[in-house]
Amino acid sequence: MSDPNLQDFIDLSAVLTGLSAKLLAPSPDPIKLPPLFFATAQQGMGAAAFSNLLGLYASIKGQPPAQIASAVLGSSDAQIAQGARSIMKLWLLGSWYQPYNQGTAHKGDTRVVSDQAYKESWAWKIAQSHPMGYSQYHFGYWAEQPPTLKQFTGVDAKEGQQP
Amino acid sequence: MKITLKRAACLGASFTSALAMADAAGPPVLSPAIPFDVTANPPFTLDNLQHDFDVLSWQTFVALNWPAKADGSADTSVKIGAPGQTVWESWKESYAIFLPQGQKPLAWDQHTPPPAACQGKGDLPVLQQMGKVAGVLDEFIQPFKTGPLVDQDGTYTRNAIMVNQPMFNDIVNNGLYSQEGQQAFFTKADNRIAFSCGTKETQQVGAIMVKSAWKVLGGNDNPQDFHAVDALVYTPGNTDPNTGAVIPESCSAQKVGLVGLHIVHKTKDAPQWVWSTFEHVRNVPEKTTPMNERKGPYLFYDAQASDRPINEPPPRPWDPSKKATPSQIVREIPLTVATHQLNAQWQGALKGTVWANYQLISTQWPTAPADDCQLPSPTNPLGTPAPSFLANATLETYNQGTTPQASSSCMECHNNATTRVTQSPRTSFADFTFLLERAQSTGAKE
Amino acid sequence: MSTLHTQNIETADVIVVGAGMAGSVMAYQLGLAGLKVLVLESGPAIPPNRSEYLERFYTAVFKSPESPYPPEQTEQTPAKQFAPRATIQDLITAGSDDPDKVQKSYLVQKGPHLFASTYERVGGGTMWHWMGTALRLLPNDFRMRTAYNVGVDWPISYDDLQTAYCRAEQEIGVSADVASQTYLGVTFPQGYQYSMHGIPPSLVDQGLGKAINGTQYLGITLNVRQTPAGRNSQNDNGRRVCAGNTSCTPICPIQAKYDATVTMAKALDTGNVRILYQAVASQVQVDANGVTGIDFIQYQNNGTHQNGTAQGKRYVIAAHAIETPKLLLNSIGPHSPKGVANSSGQVGQALADHSVYLAWGLMPEGKPLFPFRGPLSSSGIEDMRDGPFRSQRAAWRIEIGNEGWNWSVNDPYTSVCDFIDGTNHGGANPNNQALSGVALVQQLNSVLTRQFRLGFLIEQVEKDPDKALCRVERAEGFTDGLGLTRPQITYELSDYTKEGFKQARLAATHIITKLMGATELTDLNPELKPGSQTVFKYDGQNYAFFGAGHLMGTYRMGSDRTKSVVNKDQRSWDHPNLFLVGDGVFPTTGTANPTLTITALTFQAADVVASDLLKRTVQVQANQAWQGTGVQVNGHNWQLAVCTGGQWTANPGTGMVGAAGNSRLTAKPGYTLPGQAEGALIGRIGNSGAPFLVGNQAQLPRGQQGELQLCINDDLTGRYGAGLSDNRGSLSVEVRFGTV
């Protein structure tokens, strides 16, 4: 990515979602969700609030992830705090949840950003599965143990959870 | 919407990289050597890698279309374009591998006689399938029984599937040509379908399968514009309305011209295979071309019949013995600028041969390839193909588009192919080929 | 646009209204028999591929059963739409306090409960979004009044449908293992095998099975049992094998799940079937002798429409359980004062669903079940679908869901938002944690992998089946975009069904908490808001109910013309050239998903329609050798030869006999068919067909093509005596469509 803002957006998304930047924005990338999500969040939050969010991130990006998340999600600027949550939902569900009234959009409006956004959304991989309506697996897979959470997301499952 | 963004990105990057490559590489070299794997040059951007795979496609296209000697190997004493059967035309056809009662195929160098209805019509290759037609006429599973492709003379186009010797050996040596053979193969708990990969290290060509589309040359067709051959156009009869329209068997010798070619090659860097597809340059206009610029003349589109519905199959029943309404087809996803430029280079090198009449549509390759040639990737079996969608207007005519799972994507659809032993994921996965579904039962009881 | 004077008239042998499951089977069987069929379908054509539908599904926020299909579920403008239908979006609006709710909902819901199921109006019909479950009804489902003194008896029995069930299972392509399906009286022919082997059980099924199998509940042994499904476990039929997309409802992306377009394609392949799409049947015209035509309005996408009339020798309405009575009730005329086919007053009466009690739980930490994988449902608990309790309360089957809490609370969306926002709408976040980063991934993983849900499909029985509380009527003053009056729904669950809910709740809690050791998250006290709802109060508790998508009962079959709309052949009592098919003919609901029974019944009805038009009676002379009947057998339809009268003999000395021949005399070598009774009626297909015994009646052998020939079983060449020359008499034999 040549655009530093885009890279910050990806890195911030990684911090917030717990999914690494390499997973959210693989290279090479024929699907190109990161720029689409960037534009979606920018439009949804409004350019100013979005810029403030990225600005906040840029100023603290050296800190540990937990601190960054806390600063962003606990920001006293409600638009930053709510907008960031909508960005998390965007990656996990492929839908934009309008965080507050902005332009003609109302708080609570929801839309699926694109068929690819749904198909690539991460909540299902976090469930060690696939989005309903999009499976790449083979007959009978459901009768067998799925790959581990670590294989899907790079994150270890909670202690004592599963093999 | 998304396509526009993607193409905009491509436009920006591809001019630079394509020109850079052109400067560095010079005109293409025509060689009968089938490449073992892609040659990828840094930087490994999406556009550069796409270019490298597209070059692989052209190199493979040239090598496979080289005139062959009697033993099927390329005749290095002549140049491509010289008369004679091509290398891939000498390969085993699917009907010669998956035989009635699951019989063992004849050895690689032995010819399987054509169906009885074709006896006496000359020792010619048999073309039997039509488009994406159901039942007996279509011996392998199609995503949907979407329909036949009809040319301007009202005649159905015909298909043939061939595999190279490594793939043939994989099938025969493992007994995969019969249902019982497949069952026996899977009784060993570690066995899974995994065709051979091409590798540069061992200088081995991997499994290659080829699917060709042909039109019967008519009065308005100039054979010089095509790779034209004499072939046996065979329609297996069908008497069972449960599997398709009831139609008579027939076979006749016809002059046919190549209009579409899929080349699929499994390599170490692409265990999900490399999917190359070529078409005759005059097949169809692109959907994005304005109506008044669709000059043609096209093989599967009539510029005068602009009110006919586009990309719709003819009405059922589909009976190749009867004339049908010519198909009115456009290409949904246009070729990229980079592809056009690469095509121009290769067509230039092939000038003077019939092969200059063909163009690469694109190459689909896995951007996140599986770790090895045996096991599918557990969390991303497709390996995130690029481009996401790819269709040949003569072979995936009626499901072009960009909707996941419904629109043509080589890997996505072929990933659903299975064996005849659908018990578990291990036994079901057929390594991206629908051919194994054609295996018949020997009838033997256990 | 046309005027009355330029009415567009379409003709065919048979007119079929509806291109869904029943319409497709009817068209296929009739087309195969050589009859010309015209299908009128209110919705758009079967598309060349499913990209339009799938794209709509992928981008729908609310992925309801109707979400892929037109008209767009968010429009909610039935007064303007040309082929509107019920949607879950409408249902939600109907239960809300939206001031425009009556106008927005296609169904005009009078209450007191809301009718909760939906259907499609497109080529291929509601089968686009069926689950795939292909269960048979139980023998007692057909005889509720006799066995339990509730409901009504069907005019046919389970055994009467046995052959038809097998035909239906073959047409759909059902994957199941017979051994797992013989329970509660269900039988199969000796050695029967389903088309394909069963679908492997999911990890959810396996986890439930470990805890449940073999346990006793109220004296009944429970087992988790494979569900027979119209879903490919093998690729022999040319379609792809199930890849576990977990979206059967609303759409299978790869058509591994059967849908009616498969059968309609075969119908079109016969060359005898034509479909008019976007052609809404608007009125059925009748005179004293029967139906004289079906008026329709064909609309274009640009908003224009033209009128037409379809005329044939037979009429079949297969428009599902709400559109069919709507059409009949909208067809008032001098010979149909209460609507067509409605002298009994039962058209539109006894609308029924399988009302669903949904229960869901969360396994303890460390015991995941891994939902969201596989087909939407692969197993169920069927052991309580029948029993003595049915004289007191409704039975149910338990469908095990593989989709976690997707139906229950719209997960993963709700839980994902809960753990990001710190809310608890889904119930899995009681401490209102707001997480991010790795902690979010871990907690979501923990919660999502431990979800499971059970759906109790509860039978609906009216307290007084002849005076039903649930019905479809004309909604006076409410029309659609073509000016046709919309359906008005009155709906109320009986105490019999509500008691079924009460028992379902107890069973669910038993399974979830006692057997699985899980936490139950079912909403055990749903709010009962004012106005019509999908919530009711019974015996001190509130229950929420859902629709199963099984609309049944509104033109039931019976043996009493004053109390039913069609007879056991699904022929209208009032108009002999009219047939009504689909699950509107079901007099009771049982607890099986209706599709397989619809299909079986339609095969039978198709045999009757084909026989009406093509049956032939011939005289077979005793003193002639093989005689042609003029009946061309195609080897695919099921046909019968039945002796309807007469006497003959192969030997006057031994007396006249019927078609069974002389039981004391066995034919010798050289006879037409050695080893069978002398003088029996014998048949063969074509000159070189192998002779077979017909006797009093026989199924014609399938798989052979040619002319049916008949003959007496005698010494044809005169090897033993006079041969044919001294034979006397003749038989009359009817050749028609059907099964023995």
DSSP readout, C684-711?
EESTTSPPEE-TTEEEPPSS--EEEEEE
Closest to B299 (Cα-Cα) out of B252, B247, B256, B344: B256
SS3 labels along chain B: CHHHHHHHHHHHHHHHHHHHHHHHHCCCCCCCCCCCCCCCCCCCCHHHHHHHHHHHHHHHHHHHCCEECCCCCECCCCCCCCCCCECHHHCEEHHHCCCHHHCCCCCCCCCCCCCHHHCCCCCCCEECECCECCHHHCCCCCCCCCECCECCCCCECEEEEEECHHHHHHHHHCCCCEHHHHHHHHHCCCCCCCCCCEECCCCECCCEEEEEEEEECCCCCCHHHCCEEEEEEEECCECCCCCCCCECCEEEEEEEEEEEEEEEEEECCEEEEEEEEEEECCCCCECCCCHHHCCCCCCCCCCCCCCCCCCCCCCCCCCCCCCCCCCCCCECCCCCHHHHHHHHHHHHHCCCCHHHHEEEEEEEEECCCCCCCCCCCCCCCCCCEECCCCCCCCCCHHHCCCCCCCCCCHHHHHCCCECCCCCCHHHHECCCCCHHHHCECCCCCC
Average pLDDT estimate for C334-350 = 97
Yes or no, beta carbons of A30 and B5 under 8 Å apart:
no
Yes or no, beta carbons of A133 and C251 under 8 Å apart:
yes
DSSP class of residue C657 equals B
pLDDT at B229: 87
pLDDT at B113: 76
Q: Any chain C CB within 8 A of the CB of A20? A: no
Q: Which residues of C touch B398 (CB under 8 A)?
A: 48-49
pLDDT at B250: 87
Which chains reach chain C with 3 or more Cβ–Cβ distances below 8 angstroms?
A, B
Best to test chain B binding among C269, C272, C633, C705 (most B CBs inside 10 Å): C269
pLDDT digits (tens, 9 = 90+) for A109-161: 999 999 999 999 999 999 999 999 999 999 999 999 999 999 999 999 997 66
Query: Which residues on adjacent β-strands are paired with residue C526?
Result: none
Lookup: tokens for A20: 């690494």
Distances (CA, A) of B53 to B226, B269, B390, C458: 25, 11, 14, 58
Yes or no, beta carbons of C245 and A114 under 8 Å apart:
no
Closest chain C residue to the Cα of B141, Cα to Cα: C238
Q: Any chain C CB within 8 A of the CB of A30? A: no
C108, amino acid identity:
V
Question: Which residues, at least 6 apart from A103, have a Cβ–Cβ distance to it below 8 Å?
Answer: A46
Yes or no, beta carbons of B49 and A28 under 8 Å apart:
yes
Question: Which residues, at least 6 apart from B339, have a Cβ–Cβ distance to it below 8 Å?
Answer: B54, B360, B361, B362
CB A88 within 8 A of CB C405: no
Yes or no, beta carbons of C444 and A65 under 8 Å apart:
no
The CA distance from B343 to the nearest CA of chain C, in Å, is: 30
Going C214 to C217 to C223 to C224, the CA torsion angle's sign is negative
The CA distance from B143 to the nearest CA of chain A, in Å, is: 15
Question: Which residues, at least 6 apart from C643, have a Cβ–Cβ distance to it below 8 Å?
Answer: C658, C659, C681, C694, C695, C696, C697, C731, C732, C733, C734
The CA distance from A2 to the nearest CA of chain C, in Å, is: 26
Yes or no, beta carbons of B405 and A134 under 8 Å apart:
yes
Pairing relation of β-strands C627-633 and C451-458? unpaired
C467, amino acid identity:
K
Lookup: tokens for C585: 């003919």
Q: Give Cα C660 to chain centroid, integer Å.
A: 38
CB A156 within 8 A of CB A149: yes
Distance CA A143, CA B246 (A): 40
Closest chain B residue to the Cα of C31, Cα to Cα: B241
Distance CA C706, CA C661 (A): 25
Q: Any chain B CB within 8 A of the CB of C203? A: no
The single residue listed with the structure tokens 């092939």 is B350
Yes or no, beta carbons of C417 and A89 under 8 Å apart:
yes
pLDDT at B198: 94
Yes or no, beta carbons of B406 and C255 under 8 Å apart:
no
Q: Which of B317, B398, B428 sits opposite C48 (nearest CB)?
A: B398
Yes or no, beta carbons of A132 and C246 under 8 Å apart:
yes
Yes or no, beta carbons of C54 and B135 under 8 Å apart:
no
Lookup: tokens for C328: 């009949």
Closest to C22 (Cα-Cα) out of C484, C566, C486, C398: C566
Before B100, cis peptide (omega within 30)? no
Side-chain half-sphere exposure of C4, counting CA atoms within 13 A: 0
| Angle, helices B2-25/B337-349, rounded to nearest 10 degrees | 30
Kindly give the confidence (pLDDT) of every residue in chain B, 446 residues in length, as a single tens digit, with 9 standing for 90 and above: 222 222 233 333 333 334 334 434 578 999 999 999 999 999 999 999 999 999 999 999 999 999 999 888 999 999 999 998 899 988 988 888 999 999 999 999 988 777 788 877 656 666 654 332 211 122 222 335 789 999 999 999 998 899 999 999 999 999 999 999 999 999 999 999 999 999 999 999 999 999 999 999 998 899 999 999 888 888 888 889 998 899 888 888 888 999 999 999 999 999 999 999 999 999 999 999 998 899 889 999 999 997 889 999 999 999 988 999 999 999 999 999 999 999 999 999 999 999 999 999 999 999 999 999 999 999 999 999 999 999 999 999 999 999 999 999 999 999 999 999 999 999 999 999 999 999 999 998 75
Yes or no, beta carbons of C265 and B316 under 8 Å apart:
yes
Yes or no, beta carbons of C235 and B141 under 8 Å apart:
yes
Which chains reach chain B with 3 or more Cβ–Cβ distances below 8 angstroms?
A, C
Q: Any chain A CB within 8 A of the CB of B388? A: yes
Average pLDDT estimate for C690-708 = 94
Distance CA C622, CA C644 (A): 15
Closest to C363 (Cα-Cα) out of C148, C585, C183, C210: C210
Q: Which residues of B touch C234 (CB under 8 A)?
A: 420, 422
Q: Is the pLDDT of residue A2 over 80?
A: no
Closest chain C residue to the Cα of A163, Cα to Cα: C366
Distance CA C343, CA C578 (A): 14
Q: Which residues of A touch B422 (CB under 8 A)?
A: 139-140
Distances (CA, A) of B395 to B155, B159, C21: 15, 8, 31
Q: Is the pTM of this model over 0.90?
A: yes
SS3 labels along C403-458: CCCHHHHCCCHHHHHHHHHCCCCCCCCCCCCCCCHHHHHHHHHHHHCCEEEEEEEE
Q: Any chain B CB within 8 A of the CB of A158? A: no
- Please compute Rg for chain A using Cα positions: 17
- Please compute Rg for chain C using Cα positions: 28
Indicate the pLDDT class of residue C579, thresholds 50, 70 and 90. very high
pLDDT at B146: 84
Distance CA C225, CA C199 (A): 11
Cβ neighbours of B208 (radius 10 Å): 26
Alpha helices in C480-592 (DSSP H): 495-509
The region of weakest confidence among A40-49, C45-54, C394-403, C722-731 is: C722-731
Yes or no, beta carbons of B138 and C238 under 8 Å apart:
yes
The CA distance from B387 to the nearest CA of chain C, in Å, is: 18
pLDDT at B12: 36
Best to test chain B binding among A43, A138, A144, A152 (most B CBs inside 10 Å): A138
Backbone angles phi, psi at B109, to 5 degrees: -90, 5
Q: Which of C243, C371, C442 sits opposite A155 (nearest CB)?
A: C442
Q: Torsion over CA of B147, B148, B152 and B157, rounded to 10 degrees?
A: 160
Closest to A126 (Cα-Cα) out of C195, C415, C508: C415
Q: Which residues of C touch B246 (CB under 8 A)?
A: 269
Average pLDDT estimate for C19-33 = 98
Distance CA C121, CA C124 (A): 8
C6 by DSSP, 3-state: which? helix
Average pLDDT estimate for C92-110 = 94
Q: Which residues of B touch C243 (CB under 8 A)?
A: 416
Closest to A90 (Cα-Cα) out of C413, C206, C239, C661: C413
Best to test chain B binding among A136, A150, A155 (most B CBs inside 10 Å): A136
Indicate the pLDDT class of residue A162, thresholds 50, 70 and 90. low
- E strand or H helix that includes residue A56: helix A47-60
Does the ipTM exceed 0.90?
yes
Best to test chain C binding among B332, B379, B403 (most C CBs inside 10 Å): B403
Closest to B253 (Cα-Cα) out of B210, B216, B212, B214: B216
Lookup: tokens for C601: 């019944």
Question: Which residues, at least 6 apart from B385, have a Cβ–Cβ distance to it below 8 Å?
Answer: A30, B272, B364, B365, B366, B367, B409, B410, B411, B412
Yes or no, beta carbons of A30 and B388 under 8 Å apart:
yes
Question: Which residues, at least 6 apart from C737, have a Cβ–Cβ distance to it below 8 Å?
Answer: C29, C33, C606, C607, C608, C610, C611, C614, C615, C637, C638, C639, C640
Q: Any chain C CB within 8 A of the CB of A100? A: no
Task: Please identify among residues 432-461 of chain C the ones whose CB lies closer than 8 Å to any CB of chain A.
Answer: 434, 436-446, 448-449
